[in-house]
Structure 1
Amino acid sequence: MLSLSPNLTEIVVALGARDRLVGVSDFCRAHLPGGELPRCGAAVNPNFERILALHPDLLFFLGRMEKLQRFCAEHGIRARSVNIDRWASLRAEIARIGAELDAKKPSAKLLDTLNRRLERVRADARGKKRFRCLILLGRETGGLRRMMSVGGSSFLSEMLSVAGGDNVFADQPQPYFTPSNEAILAARPEVVLELRPGEKLSASERAAILADWKAPGALPALAARGRVLLLTEDFLMTPGPRMIDIAEVFRSTLQRIAEADAPSPASND
């Protein structure tokens, strides 16, 4: 079996089928449980020669990749397209992959665990102050230009909502888009969550990134209050089983902000 997407690889591993993998995507984590596996490109640029050399009988990939599907059909490889963009689709695909791998019991157990964790996050956020949040996925280096954000149909917006935050662009239908700086200012975010998954930022690099937000015309008041957060966990853009980890990171981040805003006991005397 071969997986050409990190989130699908994580599902296979979480279902206890790591030993059935013969190859993975170039974008999978550098250190997979159980040791390294051959890298076979990705769905958009698969390494067909390497795939053939590994003799997989099953290949998982994201979306509709007609060239890849034709290749699999020509060489007798079962191709399974998977689509995950929300919590509901993650649950459905875990069940479907579990059935494909004859792992229905592990998939049911995994889904139960994920459901329980998500409900704990939801319960922890219930009744707490909600924050209007801007999620950023990327921008030009050295300034606030060409900033990529998320709309309401993104799994990131959904996990933020569970965690007690409200996406300032929740009314945008597209999952990912580039808002103007004027639109960002007009949205009046209370918190900026700048996602930089996997980046190992030094203190000076963090300071330089945050300095961009202190410039005139940016959001200096938020930066001064510590409301611009750089999140670097490597799973933040991977809509797989660790989607719940994303909700937990969002929740703990918003909880820290709420605690920092709370008046000290001395101020109530």
Structure 2
Amino acid sequence: MHADAATHTRSHALPQRIISLSPHTTELAYAAGLGDKLIAASDYSDYPEAAKQLERVANYRGIKMERIVALKPDLILAWKGGNPVREMERLEQLGFTLFYSNPKTLEDIPNTVEALGQYAASPAHAQQVADDFRTRLAALKASRHSARSVKYFYQLSESPIITVAGKSWPSQVFSLCGGENIFADSPAAYPQVSVEQVIVRQPEVIFGTPHSGTDVSVWQKWQQQLPAVANGHLYTLKADWLNRPTPRTIKAVEQVCGYLDQVRQKGD
């Protein structure tokens, strides 16, 4: 059986043995006050610090099915779209309860924390975390209400050059801050692009993250062709804040909004 962030209601039997199958669901579990119930997690589940001590039962290649079954979890936190569908269906067939997380908007983050909080002995902690997120998000939205849009390029990887398009995560962070994605209309969610395509679209700012090996300084050689380079608007963002949809995403919003404000001030 499965539950999700939108439909779960409080159960009389609270889970005591929880497994998380992605880094972002691990972080969400701690945010919701379920950290002391986690018995295993996926690779790269490194926040908060306590998560580093958990046994590893999943990675980008798949999950350790036999080990998960042996651990007898009473709740499994899965990433819809990130964990293999066939393996998730198998866990459900075996009778395990799965909670699927798949935040598509910034508002989905506090909603998911709240939904997970229903599994905690006291949902009050999750409620506080969710409320804090919503308060900070509302303030950021209000402060950007009349800000002009800024054309940006976000580089996910360097070789090949991969970016993010349309409504795929984390486009939501940039758009809230008034960012205009130069590859928003790409048919692929995470398109591979060329240097020439970036130059043609003339971004005012270029963002990258260090964990993917993306050094934004590689664009320096195109200083004459790119306004972002000519004006010194090359910024490195904190990857975990940006790429994992968790309460820390609000820090990514603040970071991106701050950089876009710098671009506006210089240009205006």
TM-score by length of 1: 0.79
**Superposition deviation, residue 180 in structure 1:** 3.5
SS in 2 for 1:95: helix
Cα–Cα, structure 1 residues 197 and 120, in superposed 2: closer, same or farther, change >3 Å?
Answer: farther
**Superposition deviation, residue 148 in structure 1:** 0.9
Alignment of 1:93-132 (within 5 A): 93-101=112-120, 104-132=123-151
Match of 1:32 among 49, 54, 64: 49
- The alignment covers a number of residue pairs equal to 249
Q: Indicate the residue corresponding to 1:190 in structure 2.
A: 204
Cα–Cα, structure 1 residues 68 and 3, in superposed 2: closer, same or farther, change >3 Å?
Answer: same
CA RMSD of aligned residues (A): 2.9
Matched, 1:83 2:97: no
Give the Cα–Cα distance (whole angstroms) in 1 for the partners of residues 92 and 169 of structure 2: 32
1:177-204 Cα deviation digits (max 9, x unpaired): 12333332222211111123487x9xxx
Q: Report the AA paired with residue 20 of structure 2.
A: S
SS in 2 for 1:41: strand
Give the Cα–Cα distance (whole angstroms) in 1 for the partners of residues 223 and 99 of structure 2: 48
Give the Cα–Cα distance (whole angstroms) in 2 for the partners of residues 110 and 31 of structure 1: 15
Q: 8 Å contact 1:43–1:61 — kept in the other structure?
A: no
Q: 8 Å contact 2:31–2:113 — kept in the other structure?
A: no
Match of 1:254 among 253, 256, 260: 260
1:210-246 Cα deviation digits (max 9, x unpaired): 1x31335984553242112222443321112222121
Q: Indicate the residue corresponding to 1:8 in structure 2.
A: 25
TM-score by length of 2: 0.79
1:5-45 Cα deviation digits (max 9, x unpaired): 11111111011111010011112117633761111123751
SS in 2 for 1:134: strand
Q: 8 Å contact 2:46–2:52 — kept in the other structure?
A: no
Q: Which runs of 5+ in 1 are unaligned?
A: 141-145, 263-269
Alignment of 1:1-269 (within 5 A): 1-29=18-46, 32-33=49-50, 36-42=53-59, 44-63=61-80, 65-73=84-92, 75-101=94-120, 104-140=123-159, 146-172=160-186, 174-197=188-211, 210=217, 212-216=218-222, 219-260=225-266
Q: Which runs of 5+ in 2 are unaligned?
A: 1-17
Q: Report the AA paired with residue 36 of structure 1.
A: Q
The sequence identity of aligned pairs, in percent, is: 24
Q: Report the AA paired with residue 254 of structure 2.
A: E
Q: 8 Å contact 1:153–1:173 — kept in the other structure?
A: no
Give the Cα–Cα distance (whole angstroms) in 1 for the partners of residues 24 and 224 of structure 2: 34
